[in-house]
Each structure stands twice: as structure tokens, then as C-alpha cells.
């Protein structure tokens, strides 16, 4: 399934209703039970109202996530400040400074199957709420992503995918050359090639993708396969950036020159790494600067991958291209206290 992320700026009350209606439409397409649709509406209202009343540069990112045996309706609230000085107080049941029906972030947390938040005074807050489409076994890995089009475009020339099976996960990020509809076609073709053979050898995978993208603009493409043990096989063609990040260091992962669908080498090298614990694999397109850092965000590394993607894409997006950031961890939830 092609992940489609809807971004709604939220700065006045009329946009609260827009967010609620958008999430209701998504809930209907997923055939959520009526009670869960009501939960989604409460979450949407609370998060959007908080943005109107308290935040600057607020936006809601809405998408459907399908991963392993699980599926979620995801609401990601992102703002540029002022941030919360006491997150724990804001999460207390019944605490609300805006008088909304669900009584604040405590209600959001209660209605969510997955919930996490990171807030830095002066920089802003990112909150993720996921509502499960069905009861499913826990996955070994957790994936979060932000995928946004070039400003003014209606389609995104980037895409990402993830497929998990019992002992491992495969993830990919593709960046169609340029932006707009033709770039989106190239990215979608790369996503389809990944879905056909997510765990193929590097040679098989990139040759399949190369054939699939012939006649298109072409794309930069990178794939990682992560075993339950933490062993990572990484390969890439073009300018998709990737790093393994722990509290001690960040290690960049190498890609080869070329453009999938236009010109690639007959042999594509794969590099072996080990995923740190705790730590994350981070992959992003060149719409996000490579000068990101976790240093200004205490505790961010232990947060939910969707929150990490939200924070870093907010603060390090270039604004001159499509922008995608994918984050993978081996823990299902943020390991630090919320």
C-alpha cells in the first residue's frame, strides 16, 4: 500500500473541524468500529484544539500505517513552540487548559493504542497517537515516517515502505528525480518493486527496480533489512541518506552512485552493520538536510519512531524538495518515561 500522508495546517478553529472530518473519512475507509471512530474523532479534536490554543506553526499529519500484522490510523501533531515545561502534568486525567470535551492530552493517551510525546521548551512539541484497525500481535520492530511533498505540490515524489516477517524487517525509501507528478510516478514504481521482492538479494532487488523504473525519471533508492538480532544489511543507489544512531554515536551508511531506472552498476554492494540497542535506523531523502542532530533534544532517541521523524523533519527540512524521513527501532514504544 502506498503510504499517503495528509498535512493540515492548524492555526484557527475552522481547521479543527477539517482535521476531524479528514480523520473520520480515513476511519471509514479502514472499516473501524463505530466506537473506535469516536475515539479517533476525540483524538483529532483534542490535538487540533491544542494547536489552535497553544502552539505556533501547528500542523496535523494524518496517515494510515500498515506494518507487519498490524495497522493503525496515525495522527501526528507537530508544532514550533512554545513547548511544554511539564509534560507529566499535561497528561494527567482531567487536565485541560482549553476546556475541550475529552479533557486534554490525558484523553488522547487513553483513546490511543500507541501514544508518545516529546516537547522541548522554545522548540515545540510532537505528539503521536495511533488507533489500531484490529487487535494484532505485537511486532518486533516499530516504524515511523514523515513523507511530505514539495511546497505547493499535491503529490509527493518520495515514498517509503516496510514489510516485516517473523525474524526480520525490510524498509525502503525512494526519491523520484525532481518533484511533482512524474517524480511521484517513479517513486511509486520503486515502491511496487519493493513490495514484489522486499527480501530479495541486493542484485535481484535493484535489477528488478531498475527494470520497473525504465522510461520514468528514475529515482534514488535505498533498502535495509534488519534481523531480530540487530544485524543490518544496507544498500543504496543515489542520495538517500542513512544512519545508525545510538546515544554514543551516529554512523552513516554508504550508498553507490547512480539512478535507478536510468543507470546503475550490474553489481550492487550490501554492507553489514549492527543496530545499536537502544538506537534507531534513520533514512531520509535529500529534502531533509544531513546536518540533523539529536543533541538539542534530550530523550528524543528513546521516543516512538514517529515522534523522532516528526521532530527532525520539522527542524531540518530544506523546504525546496519533497521530504521523507523514516525511523525504525526494535522497541515497540519509546523506552523513556512519557
Summarised one tens digit per residue, pLDDT across range 293-336 is: 999 999 999 999 999 999 999 999 998 899 999 999 986 444 45
C-alpha span between 126 and 109 (Å, rounded): 14
pLDDT at 98: 47
- The fraction of the chain above a pLDDT of 90, given in percent, is 78
pLDDT at 335: 47
Q: What is the pTM of this model?
A: 0.93
pLDDT at 254 over 60: yes
129-181 residue pLDDT tens: 999 987 655 678 999 999 999 999 999 999 999 999 988 999 999 999 999 99
| Residue with grid cell 516477517, as numbered in its chain | 165
13-42 residue pLDDT tens: 999 999 999 999 999 888 888 999 999 999
**Mean pLDDT of the residues in the chain:** 91
C-alpha span between 261 and 265 (Å, rounded): 11
Amino acid at each position: 500500500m502506498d503510504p499517503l500522508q495528509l498535512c493540515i495546517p492548524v492555526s484557527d478553529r475552522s481547521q479543527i473541524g477539517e482535521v476531524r472530518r479528514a480523520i473520520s473519512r480515513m476511519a471509514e475507509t479502514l472499516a473501524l468500529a463505530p466506537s473506535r471512530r469516536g475515539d479517533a474523532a476525540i483524538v483529532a479534536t483534542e490535538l487540533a484544539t491544542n494547536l489552535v490554543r497553544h502552539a505556533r506553526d501547528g500542523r496535523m499529519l494524518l496517515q494510515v500505517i500498515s506494518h507487519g500484522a498490524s495497522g493503525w490510523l496515525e495522527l501526528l501533531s507537530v508544532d514550533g513552540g512554545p513547548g511544554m515545561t511539564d509534560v507529566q502534568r499535561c497528561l494527567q486525567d482531567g487536565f485541560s487548559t482549553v476546556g475541550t470535551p475529552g479533557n486534554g492530552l490525558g484523553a488522547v493517551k487513553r483513546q490511543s493504542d500507541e501514544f508518545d510525546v516529546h516537547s522541548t521548551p522554545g522548540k515545540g512539541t510532537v505528539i503521536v497517537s495511533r488507533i489500531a484497525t484490529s487487535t494484532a500481535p505485537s511486532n518486533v520492530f516499530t516504524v515511523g515516517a514523515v513523507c511530505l511533498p514539495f511546497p505547493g505540490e499535491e503529490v509527493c515524489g518520495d515514498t517509503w515502505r516496510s514489510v516485516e516477517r517473523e525474524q526480520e524487517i525490510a524498509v525502503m525509501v525512494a526519491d523520484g528525480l525532481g518533484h511533482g507528478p512524474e517524480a511521484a510516478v517513479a517513486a511509486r514504481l520503486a515502491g511496487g518493486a519493493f513490495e514484489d521482492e522486499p527480501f530479495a538479494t541486493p542484485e535481484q532487488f535493484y535489477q528488478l527496480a531498475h527494470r520497473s523504473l525504465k522510461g520514468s525519471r528514475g529515482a534514488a533508492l535505498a533498502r535495509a533489512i534488519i534481523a531480530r538480532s540487530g544485524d543490518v544489511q544496507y544498500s543504496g543507489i543515489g542520495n538517500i541518506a542513512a544512519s545508525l544512531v545510538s546515544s554514543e554515536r551516529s554512523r552513516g551508511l554508504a550508498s553507490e552512485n547512480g539512478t535507478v531506472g536510468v543507470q546503475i552498476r550490474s553489481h550492487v554492494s550490501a554492507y553489514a552493520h549492527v543496530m545499536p540497542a537502544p538506537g534507531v535506523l534513520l533514512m531520509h531523502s535529500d529534502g531533509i538536510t544531513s546536518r540533523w542532530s539529536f543533541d538539542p533534544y534530550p530523550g528524543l532517541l528513546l521516543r516512538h519512531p514517529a515522534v523522532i521523524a516528526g521532530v527532525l523533519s520539522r527542524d531540518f527540512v530544506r523546504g525546496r524538495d519533497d521530504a521523507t524521513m523514516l525511523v525504525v527501532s526494535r522497541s515497540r514504544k519509546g523506552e523513556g518515561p512519557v
